[in-house]
Amino acid sequence: MLVLFNKPFDVLCQFTDQLGCITLADFIPVKNIYAAGRLDRDSEGLLLLTDHGKLQDFIASPGYKLQKTYWAQVEGEINDQAIEQLRQGVALKDGVTSPARARRIDEPGIWPRNPPIRERKLIPTSWIELSITEGRNRQVRRMTAAAGFPTLRLVRIAIGPWRLDDLQPGQYRLLTDEQLAKYLSNLPDIKNPRHLLQENLPNRARPARKHSRRPR
């Protein structure tokens, strides 16, 4: 099973918390699933969860170089020089990043963030689409800051073949193993999608469903 979840801003990427913060448990009642990779508390968008160990490793491990795509709202009118710098690789404290796909985009028609970002009246903002295959801590934010354009809002829209599509914040979608195998078959590096799913296969496939829950 694979769960696609649109993580809202200020939600912890875990099911329990001792301090009473909002967690995944406030939205997803599915048992025995675990996040495949993470998404920072102050970031939004696509998070994948699964009950398959091999699939979790495939999604989360940097060694498989699964592409992750983000929309980032940055401070300032980003220029061609900064875009090219992101494409070529940015020097960070833990080394130069791998080449990325980067382009400027118009402001996407997505949900408003709650709470809104802090904007300066005299400083404009702009949006970029950035795709990376690494998984360093807070990498996108560090990359744009190093290029001179700090990230104000970050939304992950895709991980490999899986996309947010019409999922709204707090909504999730379940994929059965049959649907999951079809998704994986589109990846050129996966010759036998069933190999990733041979652990924990359910006895009966369940139809895909979309759900929405609010924090308690």
Per-residue pLDDT tens for 149-173? 999 999 999 998 899 999 999 999 9
80 belongs to the catalytic site: no
Give the global pTM. Answer: 0.85
Q: Between residues 166 and 119, which one has the greater pLDDT?
A: 166
Residues 138 and 79 in one domain: yes
The reply to whether 182 and 196 lie within a common domain is yes
Distance from C-alpha of 56 to C-alpha of 14, rounded to nearest angstrom: 15
**19 and 85 share one domain:** no
* Confidence band, pLDDT 50/70/90 cuts, at residue 122: confident
Q: Are residues 56 and 74 in the same domain?
A: no
Domain total in the chain:
2
Could you tell me if 122 and 171 lie in one domain?
Answer: no
Note the pLDDT of residue 157: 98
In the block, residue with structure tokens 């960070």: 92
Of the listed 40, 42, 51, 57, which one is catalytic?
40
Range of the domain at 76: 68-159
pLDDT score recorded for residue 65: 80
**Minimum mean pLDDT range among 78-87, 118-127, 131-140, 177-186:** 177-186
130, 165: one domain = no
Out of 132, 159, 186, pick the residue that ends a domain: 159
On whether the CB atoms of residues 5 and 25 are closer than 8 A, the answer is no
Pairing type for strands 171-175 and 2-7 reads: antiparallel
The verdict on 81 and 136 lying in the same domain is yes
| pLDDT band of 208, cuts 50, 70, 90 | very low
77 shares its domain with 55: no
